[in-house]
């Protein structure tokens, strides 16, 4: 279907694609129209001044292929600029945010798996799946996904919000799942560690990929059981119970599952 073209991948001269090209955590976008989309739709001619280290098709939308890739930062193309994905993310529609996040994770995976972690041999990308294979020792590496839990703790129609030291933001308790741990055990441990509380009735809410930290956020609601709030002082500097009519000003933005949970809490009886 596609001819491989060393300049830009699989497209011939006339075909278009959506390009998700990154340099580190910067996304290549067309200049202007910040509030619009990150989608860069063009064929190889438009990208001829940009050196691409690697690229792959990862998705298609209405027959148009989406391609992720890593570029050289010495590109010279007047119509384009590099912009930090995280900075642009809040203005993106959710579907495009998700697509860009997927590309971001795949680019970072491929860049960091060029060589085998076991024997040091150069890795070869599979043509059938997202996997990097070592032809020498046979090991395969897949894109890294780190599960993390996030939990809305409810006590007498109030929600626990905690402020992390590195962000000026009031959000829910969250943390990475450790090796050998169930999701429920991770919820119990994170809540105990970060604010010193015990919770019960842990139930699933929803999930969301979160590309910036290679996470899959798995969201739960839990009821307060016992204990007094004791911020750990390491990750959490302050935490308190909030009712729907006195939520703090600084809460997570609309893209995050934390915000979806806070909004869902506001709709509860």
Q: Does 137 bind Zn ion (CB under 5 A)?
A: yes
Residue 115 CB, nearest approach to Zn ion (Å): 8
Contact 65, 41 (CB under 8 A): no
- Tell which one of 28, 67, 106, 134 touches Zn ion (CB under 5 A): 134
Q: Does 121 bind Zn ion (CB under 5 A)?
A: yes
- Tell which one of 118, 146, 182, 230 touches Zn ion (CB under 5 A): 118
Candidates 38-46, 73-81, 128-136, 204-212; binding stretch for Zn ion (CB under 5 A): 128-136
Q: Does 34 bind Zn ion (CB under 5 A)?
A: no
Side by side, the strands of the sheet bearing 124-125 are 124-125, 132-133, 140-141
Q: Does 61 bind Zn ion (CB under 5 A)?
A: no
Of residues 77, 258, 80, 70, the one with CA closest to residue 163 = 258
Q: Does 123 bind Zn ion (CB under 5 A)?
A: no
Beta pairing class for 26-30 and 236-242: unpaired
- Tell which one of 116, 159, 172, 236 touches Zn ion (CB under 5 A): 116
Q: Does 140 bind Zn ion (CB under 5 A)?
A: no
Contact 43, 50 (CB under 8 A): no
Residues 189-248 that bind Zn ion (CB under 5 A): none
Residues 6+ apart with CB under 8 A from 262: 152, 159, 161, 172, 247, 251, 252
Residue 112 CB, nearest approach to Zn ion (Å): 15
Please report which helix (H) or strand (E) contains residue 269, including its range.
none
How many whole angstroms separate alpha carbon 254 and alpha carbon 173? 17
What is the total count of residues that contact Zn ion (CB under 5 A)?
7
Candidates 136-144, 184-192, 202-210, 258-266; binding stretch for Zn ion (CB under 5 A): 136-144
DSSP code per residue over 50-81? S-EEEEEEEEEETTEEEEEEEE-TT---TTEE
Of residues 195, 217, 196, 220, the one with CA closest to residue 207 = 217
Residue 250 CB, nearest approach to Zn ion (Å): 47
Candidates 29-37, 90-98, 116-124, 164-172; binding stretch for Zn ion (CB under 5 A): 116-124
Q: Does 49 bind Zn ion (CB under 5 A)?
A: no
Question: Contact residues for Zn ion (CB under 5 A)?
Answer: 116, 118-119, 121, 134, 136-137
């Amino acid at each position: 279907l596609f001819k491989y073209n060393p300049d830009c991948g699989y497209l011939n001269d006339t075909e278009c694609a959506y390009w998700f090209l990154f340099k580190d955590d910067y996304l290549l976008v067309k200049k202007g129209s910040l509030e619009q989309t990150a989608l860069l739709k063009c064929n190889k001619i438009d990208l001829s001044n940009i050196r691409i280290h690697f690229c792959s098709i990862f998705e298609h939308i209405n027959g148009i292929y989406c391609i992720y890739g890593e570029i050289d930062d010495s590109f010279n193309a007047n119509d384009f600029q590099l912009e930090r994905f995280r900075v642009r993310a809040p203005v993106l529609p959710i579907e495009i945010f998700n697509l860009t996040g997927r590309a971001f994770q795949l680019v970072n995976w491929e860049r960091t798996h060029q060589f085998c972690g076991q024997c040091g041999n150069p890795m070869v990308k599979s043509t059938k799946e997202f996997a990097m294979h070592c032809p020498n020792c046979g090991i395969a590496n897949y894109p890294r996904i780190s599960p993390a839990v996030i939990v809305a703790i409810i006590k007498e129609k109030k929600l626990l919000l905690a402020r992390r030291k590195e962000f000026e933001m009031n959000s829910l308790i969250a943390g990475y799942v450790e090796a050998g741990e169930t999701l429920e055990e991770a919820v119990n441990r994170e809540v105990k560690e970060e604010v010193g509380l015990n919770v019960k009735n842990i139930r699933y809410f929803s999930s969301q990929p979160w590309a910036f930290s290679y996470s899959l956020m798995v969201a739960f609601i839990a009821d307060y059981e016992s204990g007094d709030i004791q911020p750990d002082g390491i990750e959490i500097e302050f935490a308190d119970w909030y009712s729907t009519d006195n939520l703090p000003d600084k809460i997570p933005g609309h893209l995050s599952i934390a915000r979806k949970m806070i909004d869902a809490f506001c709709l509860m009886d």
